[in-house]
Structure formats: structure tokens, C-alpha cells
Structure 1
Amino acid sequence: MKKSILAIDIGSSKICAIIAEISPEGTIQISGAGIVRSQGIKKGSITNIELASKAIKAALADARRVAGTEIKRAIVSISGAYTKSLNSSGIVNIPNREITFKEISRVMHTSLYNANIPNEYEVLHTLPYNFIVDDQEFIEDPLGMNASRLEVETHIITTQKSNLNNLKKAVRGAGVEVDTVVLNGYASAIAVLNEDEKELGAAVIDMGGHTCDTVIHSGTAIRYNDFLGVGSHHITSDLSMALHTPLNIAESVKIKYGSLSAPSDDLIELPIIGDEESSHEVSLGVVHNVIYARVEETLMILAQSIDKSGLKDQLGAGVVLTGGFTKLDGLRDLAVAIFDNVPVRLAKPCNVEGLFDALKEPATATAVGLIKYAAGGYAPYEIDVNRQVRYRNEEPMEKPDLTEPSVQEPAEEEIPLPPSEEAGTIRIKSFDARKSADKAAGFGSKFWNWITQLF
């Protein structure tokens, strides 16, 4: 039976809602979508819950109108702003010498329990990147293996509780409950990476309107994530100040003339900020220099982030750029130069059945990734924001009880009385009580025999 999924990508520049149907085989069919301009959100965080809820509601209304269905629960993206990441590890013994899903769940929760997470932070994802079975490292999937000990190393992504709660409150204000929350960089990676790139290692950078989110995949697992509060809107802001023209005009100039290729000496006429009736001429060379300076600085900071990860030598597939920022002409060539000639690819969301033209743009990678996540496209194993263990293509599993097992009393057994007895039943302990009764009966019989022999 098909199930309907609602995904909401809450970005700083736009909010995208997608409704899709997922078959039992994992096939995705997009049935509705809505994209509206963001309100009440700056640099990835909620700054006005009422305005954010209003924008989310508008996107939902468009998606529902197209799909002709109404869904009350959603999978929602969260920005990398105010996130912290750390690595942890766990180890468990295998009592039955065979690794089951129960042991994998237990070792992952043990690594989460061992992590030093501040009280004001909430865990978004616990992602294993190295399973160790009896000292044998980098096991892809330990399920079913024979072993006496299982270890795991995990990458744990956390966010401020206040940030997460404000996001949930804004979504609830739009009349929808939050089913689960996914880091937007993680969702974007699901949408644009193929299996070979995950295996070889790749850095995915989602370059949006106000933010850039980076995740590094190595060996099919996320090993690193980072956030930069700079996006294409900053180019617009720079142009507005440098050209002394209103923001909406600067945005139009960026879209129409923005390029990182060789500059032109042509002149364009622009209105003056504060006095739109007056205008002045500006060289396209100035426009080029302003854009180039901002993009170069942004890419250099991103390159430093990749260096800081310590995983640069594991990027066999290079860097994959996605997001609305990547539509800027000449971005790839400049990125190749700044990332030390590492392979660079500009990516759109991989094709999904029923994908509308508006959803085939790099800017919608996160939204499409959320749908693929809901269809089982997440990491092979993961503990999600609800502290449930997800196994690819399987339903989430509740977290196990890591406390010591308590000794339970034997179950009580109902024993009917003989027909001559008064109607009803009595309860006795099934094993211990019966044993005591038999023992008492045996002693009474021996005592009676002894008395009769005496007399």
C-alpha cells in the first residue's frame, strides 16, 4: 500500500513543500509542490515564528491544491546554523555469537550514551562511519556476522534545543505536526550524490541564498558537517552598496549580468538608492569585480572548512556544489582553482518520477532529498532525532533499554478447581508454589505413615 509523504524545506530565501507517494518498493511519485518566499527566517534560524508559520502555510496550500490531498505530518529540514558535531564510540559483547539488529541498535545507543552532549543541545543524527567486528575494521554491514564483540564509531550532529523547538513551533503554527527533522546538508547529499561518489568520498556544499552547508561523505557515511552564514544574497547586498542602487535592482543586475568570466566594459544605467527618479551609469567591469570578490572569499572559507575536516585526502570524487548560488556563471572554474584542482561538479537533484520542472533546479536539492530520505535513502544505519534506530528500507525501531535487566518473577498460572469446589479459580506461582505444595504433601504423607506404624 502506498503511503503519502509531506516534506518541507525551510530555507532562508524560500520555503518548499512537496507531497509524494511512496510505494512499498520505495518508488517515489511526486504529486504536488509549493514554493514561496521565506519570511521570519534569517541565516537559517527562525526570527519570527508567526511570519514563518504564515509562509509555511502558503507553501502547504499550494502543494495541497496540486496534489488534491491533505497530510498532517511532515518531514522537515533544519539549517546547519547553531549545530555542533562530535565523534563518539561504543562497544558491546555478543552473547549468542551472532550479530542481530538488537546488538547493532544497542552499540549505537551506547556510543550516543558515551558522547558528551551539552544540556542545551538536542541530537539530530547519530551516524555510524566505522563498524568493528572482533578487531576487523570498516565492516559495511555487521548484521548476521559471527562475532564475540561489536564496536562502532559514530558522527553525532546536534543543534540547540531552542532552535529546534522554534522550528517545530513554526511548523505546528501552519497546522502540521513534525514527524522527523533532517539536517539540510544531509538531505541535499541524498539528493545529488550517487553510490560511487559516496563510496569514493565527496564533499557536498549546498550554496543557498543566505547560507552554505557542507557535509563530507566518506565510505558511504557522513564524517563531517559545517555551516557558513554567507550566500548569494550577500552578493546582492554588496552590489547595492557598491553601485549605490536599491536591493531589488541589484538583484536584477546579479541575475542578468552576474558572471565570473571575463568582465565587459559596457555601461548600464541604474537608479540611485533614495532617489529612484535619478540614475547613473555603471560599468559592467565594476559589477564583475564586486561579484568576483565576494564569491572568491566565500569559496576560500569553504575550502578552509574542508581542510579543517582532515578528510580532504579522502575526497576521491571531489566536491559537489548544489543550491541556487551555483547558477552563477563561471562558478565551477573558480571553485576548481580555489579547491586546489580537486574535481568539482555542479549538481541538480537526481531524477524522481513526476518531478516538476520547478523542482529540477539546484535550489530544491534539500526538498527532494527529504522525500528520498522518507523513502529509505538515508545512511545504512542511523539514530534519528526521535532517538529511533533507522535501518535502510526498514521502519524505525524504538531505542532499546540500556539499563541492567531486572529479574522478573515467574508468571502466574490459573489452575481451575475440581467440579466439586466452589466455582472460580485460584492463582498460585506456577513453578515455585507448585514445588512447595508437592514438598508439603510428601512430608505429610511420610509423617502419617510413621504415626500409624507406632500405634
Structure 2
Amino acid sequence: MDSGKKLLAIDIGSKKVCAIIAEVRDGKPRLIGAGVEKSSGLKKGSITNIEQASKSIKQAFEYAKRVAGISARDAVVSISGGAVIGIDSHAIFNIQSGEITIQDIEKVMKTSQYNLTIPPDYEVLHILPYNFKVDEQDYVEDPLGMNASRLEVFVHIITAPKSNVSNLKRAVELAGLEVSKVILDSYASYIATINSDERSLGCGVIDLGGDTSSFVIHAAGNAIRSTGFLGVGSDNVTNDLSMALHTPVHIAESVKITYGSLMFPYEDDLIEIPAIGDETSSHEVALNLVGKVVYARVQETLSILEEQIYNTGLRREIGAGFVLTGGLTKLEGVRELAGEIFKAPIRLAQPRDNIDGLFNDLRDPSFSTAIGLILHSTGEHTLYEFDSNWNMLYNNDSVDEQRGSSRVDLEDIGPGSYGVPKEQVIENPTPRKKQDFSKEARNTIPQGGRPSPRIPKTDLGGNQQVMRHPVENDLPGNYGDLSKINNMKTNTGSFGKPNTQNNQMSKIWQWINQIF
């Protein structure tokens, strides 16, 4: 990539919009500006009001431009996995020349799309190969230049509704910008957070966002094998607290940020908060109740995600454990709780340290997606990939030498021809679908649940820093008004513990009804 080129990444989430401007130096990005604005016009990761969403995007961009001192127009943007469908496919291609070229790799990857049926109202965001097979040799890391008579590829194809992509692009355009490409948000988070050892051993990245959660599985020794989504996030914790404490949502958000914990450090402590519908009156609530409500929702969310990941059939290929990212990871004790549920090593994500200009405020997990968008634009992606524009991306220095004037015109590759002689294409049976990403499956919350694990009281330490520029209070965690939370009464004594007998939400509501 040309040195001096300006990059613009916009992470469009339901809770916040984050814009980052970077400058490329010697092929590496240097972050020079960032801005954050509270989201409007989005729900569950989808655009619900184009005009409002556009205003949030424009404001975040203006903040980033002000900090960077320069501007950029072409934006790489994220899209939520809310309606995304991930499908496995494969294709086989006969090598006529005896040596595999980049054109052969492009053709066989393109062919893999047409060996399955993609709904007409969906479009492809990514084609990600996870296994190349050269003749009878399986799991070839890079087939380029190898002698062979046959090349087979296994891919994970990520698709999204055309309407979602179109509305996203329209909102960005109304903000005065252009969309250069669209990237799945959880894929971007994966790029920004996992290291080479985790790629080698297999790792899952779980993004716990505002009103959605998602995951990406990188199987041992391969590339991305599965993606998933759940329409539950930290906003659901806030809503539960609002109902349980009979207080306005913005007060519940402040209570969650200030006192929300999965470690139950309070037992008899009380706080006084405004009543819902009449903020001039107030009532006292026990912080122990706050902890129980927060714990119940987070435990349920992680348990459903664990079940979804188990159902992919790839659990044994995740040797390095899981990386948690997103705003919900700021809750004290989430790493310990996730470790009990997933029965695997858990770490909290931070963008990699080798990114130039990564000032401390951007090390927060909630910025992982935006940073991943920048890294993807500078080549931090799978070895070979088709992006949302049907461009072939690659990380191989010898590819440019091969391309010359013989680059494949991808527009000539279509169903029935694939841009290659008929005798070179081998039709394949319908590929197996590893995971159910139907709307019904994504929205189903199983009844019952696992026993609630006990989390030992530990000191996590290391409070996260949040970016205070370019605006003071436009960041996640600063929307609530703490001024109405007062008269906290502190009592010493033993620490509370989670109820391991039954962690169902119905029990929480029974407690609430008894209290009120």
C-alpha cells in the first residue's frame, strides 16, 4: 500500500459510532485521530432511521478529523452480524498447466460460491478459505506455485441481506462519505485482538456489544471456520435493572456502570435512586439485588453463546481458549464467569501493541472493531480472501510477480461458466452447513439453564481508561446521570455469593415482587 495514504474506518454499532483516521507509513498504519458519538437510528445492529444514523456517523467523523488534522473520504465500515448467514462450501479445479497460479486460486474460490444456493436477497461479504487440498495433500497452507493436477478449496462464506448493506451505505453517503468496503464487525474484532499463537492453536473471539453479541471461531491451524450472533448485549442488562429497580433507564445505566459487578462485593449496602415516572421521589435499593440482576443476565447470555459454539462441532479445535471483547467486558468478574461457563482459558481483549499511534484511550476492548477495520485495509486478513467488492485480497509477495497482464476478470466468472473451460470445473455435491444461522435459531433462547457457577472474589485491578477527546461525555459509559444516585450506606461484613441453586430470570422477578 502506498505510503502516506489516509485510511478511514467507521465502526457503526447500536450503542456508539467510532471513527478512526490512520496514515500508512511503510505499509503499516499509524493511528492519528479518533472520534466517538452515541448511536441513533440503529437497533440490533441494523439501520432503523437512515437520517439519524447518518448524523451519528458524521459527528464521529468530524471529531476524528478534528483530532487528526486531516481528512479522508473513503471509509471502511463495519456491519453487525444480526442478519448475517455463514455457510461452508467447497470446489475442485483441474490444473492444466501443472503449476498452481494465482488465477487458479481465484477461480476455485469464486467457484465455491456457485456450489451452494445463496438467497437472492443476500450478498457476499467475505469468502474465507480454511483448507486448500492439493491433489491428495490436505491442509496446504499456501498452494501458490505448487505442482499439482487438482486444487480443492474449502471456504466459509459470510453473507448479509442486501437491504442491510444498502441502508448502511446510504447512511454513510448522507454523512458526506463513500464506502470503500464493508466488513463483518466480529471479523474485524478478531483481526485486531488475537495473536499468532492463538491462531495456531485455535481460538474463539466473542464480542459482547450494546444490544448484540457475536463470535468468530478460528480453528486450530486453519482460518475462520464459523461465525454466530445473538441479539442480546449490555443494553439488556440495563433494561433488566430499570425494571427490577423501578428506575429510569439512564439511571439504571449509571447504576450498572458504577456498581455492576459479577463478584458480589456488596451484601447489605443500599443506594437511593429516583423512581420511574417521578424522578423527584426516590427509594432505596440493595446493591446485592443489583448484583443478582446483572449476574442473571450475563450468565444467561454467556451460556447461550457457549451452546451455540458447542453446536458448531468445532469446540475441540479451540485450543487457546476464548478472547472477550466489547463494552460488556468492562463488568468486573466477566472473565472469571466466562471461564466457568466455557471451561477454557479466557482473556480480555486489547488491540495489539505493535500498532503505531495506539494511544491508551484506544486500548479499550470497545474499540477493537474499529482498529480491526484499519488493519484489514493494510493487509491483516486471511492469506487469500474475496471481499465485499469481489476483490481478491492476498498476503503473498510472489502474487504480484505472477499477475502481470493475466489477471482474471472476475466479472466473467459466473454460474454455469465460472470463467474457466468446462472440463476444468468439477461439480460438487451440496456442501454441509455446519451451523444453523436461520432467524429462528438466532432468536431462540433455550429454556432452563446450567447451574450458576460460583465466582471467587478476586481483585481484577487495572481500571480501563476511556478516550476523553474530542468530546468530554460522548463515550460509552458516560451517558448516565450519577447526580441522582446518592446516600450510599456502606456496611462491613461478609461478601454476598451468587445463588447456585437456580439462576433463572423468573427467580429474579420473584425476589423483586417480594421486595416491592
Answer yes or no: same fold by TM over 0.5.
Answer: yes
Greater relative CO, 1 or 2 (CA 8 Å, sep 6+): 2
Equivalences, count: 404
Q: Secondary structure at the match of 1:114?
A: coil
Q: Residue 117 of structure 1 corresponds to which residue in structure 2?
A: 118
**Structure 2 residue identity aligned to 1:386:** N
**Corresponding position: 1:311 with 2:318:** no
Which of residues 288, 293, 312 in structure 1 aligns to 2:291? Answer: 288
Distance 2:118 2:367 in 1: 32
| Deviation (angstroms), 1:115 | 2.2
**Structure 1 residue identity aligned to 2:341:** I
**Structure 1 residue identity aligned to 2:178:** E
Q: Residue 450 of structure 1 corresponds to which residue in structure 2?
A: none
**Corresponding position: 1:399 with 2:400:** no
> Is the 1:389–1:399 contact (alpha carbons within 8 Å) kept by the matching residues of 2?
no
Q: Residue 258 of structure 2 corresponds to which residue in structure 1?
A: 256
Q: Residue 301 of structure 1 corresponds to which residue in structure 2?
A: 304
**Structure 2 residue identity aligned to 1:10:** I
The answer to which structure has the higher strand fraction is 1
C-alpha deviations, 1:95-119, integer Å up to 9, x for none? 1111111111111011112221110
Q: Residue 451 of structure 1 corresponds to which residue in structure 2?
A: none
C-alpha deviations, 1:244-270, integer Å up to 9, x for none? 011111111111111111342111111
| Deviation (angstroms), 1:92 | 0.9
**1:61-80 map, 5 Å:** 61-80=62-81
**Corresponding position: 1:16 with 2:18:** yes
Q: Residue 228 of structure 1 corresponds to which residue in structure 2?
A: 230
Distance 1:279 1:393 in 2: 64
Q: Residue 132 of structure 2 corresponds to which residue in structure 1?
A: 131
Q: Secondary structure at the match of 2:410?
A: coil
Distance 2:241 2:85 in 1: 33
**Structure 1 residue identity aligned to 2:8:** L
**Structure 1 residue identity aligned to 2:10:** I
Structure 2 segments unaligned to the other structure (5+ residues) = 422-516
**Corresponding position: 1:83 with 2:84:** yes
**Structure 2 residue identity aligned to 1:7:** A
**1:207-218 map, 5 Å:** 207-218=208-219
Report the aligned-residue RMSD.
Answer: 1.5
**1:409-424 map, 5 Å:** none
Q: Residue 194 of structure 1 corresponds to which residue in structure 2?
A: 195
Distance 1:257 1:300 in 2: 23
| Deviation (angstroms), 1:405 | 6.8
**Structure 2 residue identity aligned to 1:246:** P
TM-score, with length taken from structure 1: 0.86
**Corresponding position: 1:329 with 2:340:** no
**Structure 2 residue identity aligned to 1:401:** D
The change in CA–CA distance for 1:290 and 1:405 in structure 2 (over 3 A counts) is closer
Q: Residue 393 of structure 2 corresponds to which residue in structure 1?
A: 390
Q: Residue 49 of structure 2 corresponds to which residue in structure 1?
A: 48
> Is the 1:126–1:154 contact (alpha carbons within 8 Å) kept by the matching residues of 2?
yes
Q: Secondary structure at the match of 1:118?
A: coil
> Is the 2:11–2:78 contact (alpha carbons within 8 Å) kept by the matching residues of 1?
yes
Structure 1 segments unaligned to the other structure (5+ residues) = 407-455
**Corresponding position: 1:338 with 2:338:** no
C-alpha deviations, 1:57-109, integer Å up to 9, x for none? 00111111111222121111000011111111111111111111111111101
Distance 2:12 2:222 in 1: 26
Distance 1:282 1:370 in 2: 42
Distance 2:310 2:147 in 1: 38
The change in CA–CA distance for 1:164 and 1:148 in structure 2 (over 3 A counts) is same
Among the aligned pairs, what percent are the same residue? 56
**Structure 2 residue identity aligned to 1:133:** V
Q: Residue 361 of structure 2 corresponds to which residue in structure 1?
A: 358
Q: Residue 488 of structure 2 corresponds to which residue in structure 1?
A: none
> Is the 1:207–1:323 contact (alpha carbons within 8 Å) kept by the matching residues of 2?
yes
| Deviation (angstroms), 1:26 | 2.4
The change in CA–CA distance for 1:202 and 1:405 in structure 2 (over 3 A counts) is closer
Q: Secondary structure at the match of 1:321?
A: strand
> Is the 1:195–1:220 contact (alpha carbons within 8 Å) kept by the matching residues of 2?
no
> Is the 2:32–2:68 contact (alpha carbons within 8 Å) kept by the matching residues of 1?
yes
Q: Secondary structure at the match of 1:58?
A: helix
TM-score, with length taken from structure 2: 0.76
> Is the 1:206–1:213 contact (alpha carbons within 8 Å) kept by the matching residues of 2?
yes
Distance 1:277 1:79 in 2: 39
Distance 2:147 2:92 in 1: 16
Distance 2:359 2:177 in 1: 23
Distance 1:73 1:141 in 2: 31
> Is the 2:351–2:368 contact (alpha carbons within 8 Å) kept by the matching residues of 1?
yes
Which of residues 266, 270, 274 in structure 2 aligns to 1:267? Answer: 270
